[in-house]
Copies of this chain bind each other. A is one copy, B any other.
């Protein structure tokens, strides 16, 4: 047998083993229910990954609810895009600007609580297939919201509803409660090399 044909054969055998392992896992994994996902860490992609899930859910005909907790003031590309579909996406932006722009803790707390009231409505609506709580971790970290109350509302949601929470520094209890947790780690970032935040990438 030629070297290339041998390589192809080895590849085939490896892929067959992989397929068997994957199929076995799928057969075992029978539970169908709404998941709680957390995207945390210092790297890029926590929010954009959640918005990619929103696109995915819309592609499956689901309704999506979005509450943005911190990045209120900037009109981001995601917001402009997902607001095109008001029948499919309920999009709420709460607060104003990054928290270091407001410099008023009492006002931030009030805004965060208003935002949570909207989130709670979405978490009670079984017609909403995916609830995206963007930068909720930041609001929790600053103590703007009560973690126990937040976890309670998330736990009581409709059984098929998915929830994705983003933001650095996810609290341990939220990670404990989550089904899937991804830590976005920073390997390198253009910003460190003096490159300005770019439209379509960063915002």
Minimum C-beta distance from A154 to chain B (A): 15
Asked if A86 lies at the interface with its beta carbon under 8 angstroms from chain B, I say no
- Complex: chain B residue closest to A19, CB-CB: B100
Q: State the interface size on chain A (CB cutoff 8 A).
A: 88
Q: Once the chains are docked, how many angstroms separate the CA of A15 from the CA of B32?
A: 43
Asked if A190 lies at the interface with its beta carbon under 8 angstroms from chain B, I say yes
- Please determine whether B79 and A26 come into contact, CB atoms closer than 8 angstroms: no
- Please determine whether B186 and A182 come into contact, CB atoms closer than 8 angstroms: yes
Asked if A197 lies at the interface with its beta carbon under 8 angstroms from chain B, I say yes
Asked if A193 lies at the interface with its beta carbon under 8 angstroms from chain B, I say yes
- Please determine whether A58 and B31 come into contact, CB atoms closer than 8 angstroms: no
Residue with the greatest number of chain B CB neighbours at <10 A, chosen from A98, A104, A190: A190
Minimum C-beta distance from A179 to chain B (A): 4
Asked if A41 lies at the interface with its beta carbon under 8 angstroms from chain B, I say yes
- Complex: chain B residue closest to A195, CB-CB: B31
Instruction: Write out the residue numbers on chain B whose beta carbons fall within 8 Å of the beta carbon of A188.
Output: 175, 178-181
Minimum C-beta distance from A84 to chain B (A): 8
Taking beta carbons and an 8 Å cutoff, which residues of A are in contact with B?
7-8, 11-12, 15-16, 18-19, 22, 25-26, 28-35, 37-41, 43-60, 62, 76-82, 98-106, 129-130, 142, 162, 175, 178-191, 193-201, 203
